[in-house]
């Protein structure tokens, strides 16, 4: 299918349908009200949303046009909905679990993503996780990217791209580039260190450098 960009409402609604079809199949397919309540739940959601029935209904109608959801023809009373996400996106179940978890919970580290996706049938080991993430990344439209590690974070985080690229994280790198992003080139590090030393020397000569430390005074 052509490049797919979803609104936050659409992404939440279709991800909820996938999630509940796996975790609570006894309540699936789902009514608009059921989808709304699951979309707005306070746990396992980031960001927490407050969608109305009208917003959910509008999202479902647009998702139906994209063939990502369909109306359940066997609903006798209230209209119910089914998802067709895995089939339209050509995803295997473990791969779908990872993508949907990112859609529901926002950016996550590899460890967080593996743990959170387990209830949806996510990859069972590190090798399967890596294969699934590469499957999502190595597409004409990459569905996930690895965000650079932000200050104060212990590890880099993954995010999905179905709602576009977040302006708050403009320096995404592909999954295949992750090793390079984690380990700096030694030659580049040496060049940067030399450059920093030259800048420090120029600042000292111009009187812009830091004041001489007490240790330096005692050694003089």
- What are the backbone dihedrals phi and psi of residue 70, each rounded to the nearest 5 degrees, phi first? -145, 155
Q: Which residue has the tokens 């020397």?
A: 201
The phi, psi pair for 190, rounded to 5°, reads: -65, -45
In whole angstroms, how far apart are CA 138 and each of 4, 10, 163, 176? 15, 24, 18, 8
Whether pLDDT at 77 is above 60: yes
Residue 67 has pLDDT above 50, yes or no: yes
Structural fold of domain 92-184 = Arc Repressor Mutant, subunit A (1.10.10)
- pLDDT for 141-188, tens place per residue? 999 999 988 888 889 999 999 999 654 444 444 455 444 444 444 555
Q: What is the pLDDT of residue 206?
A: 52
**pLDDT the model gives residue 170:** 40
pLDDT of 21 > 80? The answer is yes
Assess if CATH 1.10.10.10 describes domain 1-90. yes
Residue spans of the domains in the chain: they are: 1-90, 92-184
Task: State both tokens at 68.
Answer: 């990502």
Domains 1-90 and 92-184 equal at CATH topology level: yes
* pTM for the whole structure: 0.76
């Amino acid at each position: 299918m052509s490049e797919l960009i979803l609104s936050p409402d659409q992404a939440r609604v279709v991800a909820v349908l996938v999630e509940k079809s796996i975790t609570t199949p006894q309540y699936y397919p789902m009514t608009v009200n059921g989808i709304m309540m699951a979309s707005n739940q306070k746990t396992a959601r980031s960001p927490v949303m407050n969608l109305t029935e009208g917003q959910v209904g509008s999202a479902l109608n647009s998702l139906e046009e994209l063939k990502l959801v369909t109306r359940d023809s066997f609903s006798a009373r209230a209209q119910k909905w089914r998802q067709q996400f895995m089939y339209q996106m050509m995803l295997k179940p473990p791969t779908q679990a990872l993508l949907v978890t990112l859609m529901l919970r926002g950016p996550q580290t590899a460890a967080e993503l593996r743990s959170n996706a387990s209830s949806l049938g996510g990859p069972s080991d590190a090798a399967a996780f890596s294969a699934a993430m590469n499957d999502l990344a190595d597409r004409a439209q990459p569905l996930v990217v690895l965000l650079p590690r932000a200050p104060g974070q212990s590890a880099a985080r993954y995010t999905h791209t179905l709602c576009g690229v977040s302006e708050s994280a403009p320096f995404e790198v592909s999954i295949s580039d992750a090793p390079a992003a984690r380990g700096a080139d030694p030659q580049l590090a040496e060049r940067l260190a030399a450059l920093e030393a030259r800048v420090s020397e120029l600042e000292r000569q111009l009187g812009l450098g830091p004041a001489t430390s007490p240790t330096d005074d005692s050694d003089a």
